[in-house]
Amino acid sequence: MYDSSDALLYVGKAKNLKNRVSSYFRSTGLTLKTKALVEQINRIEFTVTGSETEALLLEQTQIKRNRPPFNILMRDDKSYPYIFLSSGDYPQIEYSRGKKRRSGQYFGPYPNTNAVKETLNLLHKVFRLRQCDDNFFSHRSRPCLQHQIERCSAPCVDLISRDEYTEDVKRAVLFLKGRSMELIADLQEKMDHAAETLNFELAARFRDQLIQLRKIQEQQYVYGEQGDADLFALVSRPGGLAISVLFVRSGRVLGSRHYFPTNQLSDNDEETLQAFINQFYLGSDTREVPAEVITNLSLQEPEMLTAALKSLYSKKVSINSQVRSHRARWLQMAVTNAEQSLISHLARKGTMDGRFKALQQALGLDERPERLECFDISHSSGEATVASCVVLGPEGPIKGEYRKFNIEGITAGDDYAAMRQALIRRYKRLAAGEGKKPDILVLDGGKGQLKQAREVFNELAVFDVVLLAVSKGTTRKQGFETLYLETNDQIIDLDSDSKALHVIEQVRDEAHRFAVVSHRQRRDNTRRTSRFESIPGIGPKRRQAILRHFGGQKEALDASITELAKVPGISAPLAEQIYFHLHPEQ
């Protein structure tokens, strides 16, 4: 379904096309969201597929590619984190995200980074496996700090034998695979044997490992069971719904992740859950598919989803909603998580709604603002300048619409020029009728940044956007900011406990956080790259010849044109070109 500007509004599939399409054009019984969709429809396009499975896969491909506003959209495009155990004589254990390309074992997926860090922290304390990379490991002459705080057995300097380290690796694998009972029995046997042979130090180490593992067992709702499963629980209330996904691998509950879908057109929760699960698995090519999917509601098309998963992943998946024993307890855990997350979400939503209404009143606006955008600039003494743009709505941050801008071609450290460049790049599309216009643009920086924004908006003929600059003030403390509305002369005075000030501080702090993170990523990437790699006409051989001649990058950077010309293969004109590329200020 497309609107008058040929923008895609909604994608759906139908076994009976006539019935499905006519259901949107009934005279009665339509929801408000369906009415809003129908009012915008200008044309409908059809694609005939060879089977229902093909239709389902095509639907999810279109949703992923075009993100239609009236489909359920998952704000979750990141891959899930794993724990990676490398191969070799002394395997390294570490956090991993992305495609599984390295040789070794992967354990997970975990619902978030914190779950991985907690598990790794336990593994380091209990089994003391190395965390360092291979280069660091192979060049050690004495133990590092991790050994001193008893979080590594220091295989790098042979403080543990290969056989003993291999045993620790096997125990860690047993734990990660959920075989805790087998692991505990093995440790108990090792502890008793060590005590019998009067090796009390080793027996104490096994005892400490048993204590830690017992604590973990107490924290797990269920242990000693086997199976890989994803459990989906949907809970709805007036004002919203929540879907919690509980991840179970090898009988261990790894944690859960919560979603709050919007813009759903379905008439019932079962249809909404079906659409969500379809997109969860079919909308990503990096998703881990378990042997079983368990839901708290009966799906309407489980056979079609099973066929699509088998077609896409070449794996048979069982989909159930009626389960017993430990799987029923897992499902109840997922339902409880969904209920609690929805309560918190609705509370936050109510708080945000109150803050936006307070902002409307404080700024004297006719209507409640629906979209705030905020910009901030971050750099290190002018190096790797990045501008951030974050978006905040009445329901919270809209992270899918965050943007970062790598700033180029300005004087190092010129924040005004950086802000001007970022604003032009962000809003020049508005003049062409594209993109979304914010109701309020918040600028972190005060009068100078406000002037830049007004000049850019006048040049681009962008109107009806309220400009608000936030200056930290003389004390530079939270709650004592100076706010400039539209001009440098119009100052807004808000109390430190004002809800309007809180929402301004929230979007300002989020823009600052995003700018700093983006800047650090860019700076680190730049520093990992040799400055000689960007010189036109200098390939790997000449670059190697330069570094070999001077002994290092720093020495080569300090070289004069005459000294550069002495490098084999570097002519005088090329030496001059290299010098001025490395020293553009001269």
pLDDT per residue as tens digits for the range 309-366: 888 888 889 999 999 888 898 999 999 999 988 888 887 777 888 889 999 998 888 8
In DSSP terms, which residues pair with 386 in a beta bridge? 378, 406
Q: How confident is the model at residue 190 (pLDDT cuts 50, 70, 90)?
A: confident
Contact criterion met (CB below 8 Å) for 483 and 494: yes
Contact criterion met (CB below 8 Å) for 306 and 317: yes
- Check whether 69 has a pLDDT greater than 90: no
Helix crossing, 499-527 with 325-363: angle to 10°?
Answer: 110
Q: Which residues have a Cβ under 8 Å from the Cβ of 144 and sit 6 or more positions away?
A: 132, 152, 154, 156
What is the pLDDT, as a whole number, of residue 511?
92
Dihedral sign of CA atoms 262, 263, 269, 275 in order: negative
What is the pLDDT, as a whole number, of residue 173?
85
Secondary structure element (H or E) that encloses residue 307, with its range: helix 302-313
| pTM beyond 0.95, yes or no | no
- Check whether 402 has a pLDDT greater than 50: yes
121-167 per-position pLDDT tens digit: 877 877 888 988 888 888 888 888 888 888 888 999 888 888 889 98
Q: How confident is the model at residue 216 (pLDDT cuts 50, 70, 90)?
A: low
Compute the average pLDDT of residues 304-309.
90
Identify which of 174-188, 284-298, 551-565 has the greatest average pLDDT.
Answer: 284-298
- Check whether 569 has a pLDDT greater than 80: yes
Secondary structure element (H or E) that encloses residue 40, with its range: helix 32-40
What is the pLDDT, as a whole number, of residue 70?
86
241-274 per-position pLDDT tens digit: 899 999 888 777 888 888 888 766 777 889 889 9
Judge residue 160's burial from the number of C-beta atoms within 10 Å of its C-beta, 0-12 exposed, 13-18 middle, 19 or more buried: buried
118-133 per-position pLDDT tens digit: 788 877 877 888 988 8
Round to whole Å and give the CA distance between 251 and 261: 29
Round to whole Å and give the CA distance between 579 and 569: 15
Q: Which domains does the chain have, with CATH numbers?
A: 81-219 (no CATH), 229-343 (3.30.420), 372-526 (3.30.420.340), 531-582 (1.10.150.20)
What is the pLDDT, as a whole number, of residue 218?
43
Which residue's entry shows tokens 């708290």? 296
Identify which of 72-76, 247-251, 510-514 has the greatest average pLDDT.
Answer: 510-514
Percent of the chain residues topping a pLDDT of 90: 18
Compute the average pLDDT of residues 484-493.
82
Out of 201-205, 307-311, 495-499, which region has the weakest mean confidence (pLDDT)? 201-205
Contact criterion met (CB below 8 Å) for 473 and 483: no
Out of 62-71, 159-168, 510-519, which region has the weakest mean confidence (pLDDT)? 62-71
Secondary structure element (H or E) that encloses residue 500, with its range: helix 499-527
What is the pLDDT, as a whole number, of residue 180?
64
3-27 per-position pLDDT tens digit: 988 889 999 888 888 888 888 888 8
410-449 per-position pLDDT tens digit: 888 898 999 999 999 998 887 677 778 899 999 987 888 8
Round to whole Å and give the CA distance between 203 and 454: 72
What are the Cα distances from residue 46, in Å, to 13, 42, 271, 278? Answer: 9, 14, 22, 20
- As a whole number, the mean pLDDT across the chain is 83
Tokens standing for residue 233: 């629980």
Contact criterion met (CB below 8 Å) for 294 and 331: yes
Contact criterion met (CB below 8 Å) for 347 and 364: no
21-61 per-position pLDDT tens digit: 888 888 887 877 888 889 899 999 988 888 888 888 888 88
